[in-house]
Chains A and B, each alone.
Chain A
């Protein structure tokens, strides 16, 4: 079956611009996670959705970052006034239940480069 998909696969933007990154989870998965991975590091948690609501957004670095999941499936991560330090691979994952009881299925990621 189809896995988690993310678009675009690559995004290059200028400092100060606004970007949107999209995640299509596995059909029927209620839990959706966003992570950010910098070069040479492991993924770092950003935000978790259970259904339509953000159950835990403690990993968002500041108020320039925002994510939505209006219908409980597709999610969009939005970054305002991008900075060079935002350059990273943004990973989305989904699972059939909350927390670490359930295996998380990751998408291929969106590589964001801020110039």
Chain B
């Protein structure tokens, strides 16, 4: 079953604009991860944020986590056509649970 729900399902923007995607989840987590998937490179890990962190940056990516609302957001600044892909959040509940639980994803299209 899917834990995360990304919002919006699809997003279309112009190159240079910022893109924000949201993820909501249902159960408590140890960490939340964002992945990107496109036809050229498959599924690629972008960034991991732990449950005791509120914000994390990596290059043009900014991730926030609000555990009280069970939600996260991914901001991509100064988008490029190469950012066109599907973006998924994945949660790990920790302990003896080994699996990541993915959401349904947001399809981002960046128009040149």
Contacts and interface: CB of A to CB of B under 8 A. Distances in A.
Contacts of B45: 103-105
A50 B33 CA distance: 21
B25 interface: no
B99 interface: yes
A93 B44 CA distance: 10
Interface in A56-77: 56, 58-59
B88 A100 contact: no
Contacts of B91: 100
Contacts of B43: 43, 91, 93, 106
A107 B104 contact: no
B104 A99 contact: no
Given A48-B99, A104-B100, A106-B42, A42 B2 contact: yes
Contacts of A100: 30-31, 33, 48, 91-92, 94, 100
A23 to B, nearest CB: 13
Interface size class of A (residues with CB under 8 A): 20 to 34
Interface string B65-89: 0000000000000000000000010
A99 B4 contact: no
Given A100-B91, A100-B100, 18 more contacts: A31-B98, A33-B99, A33-B100, A42-B2, A42-B4, A42-B90, A45-B99, A45-B100, A48-B98, A56-B98, A56-B99, A59-B99, A91-B42, A99-B97, A103-B45, A104-B100, A105-B45, A107-B42
8 contacts: A33-B98, A42-B102, A42-B103, A56-B98, A91-B42, A100-B33, A101-B92, A104-B45
Interface of A: 31, 33, 35, 40-45, 48, 50, 55-56, 58-59, 91, 93, 98-101, 103-109
A108 B42 contact: yes
A42 B88 contact: yes
Nearest to A4: B42
Q: Which 6 A-B pairs have the closest CB atoms?
A: A100-B92, A42-B102, A45-B99, A106-B43, A48-B98, A103-B45
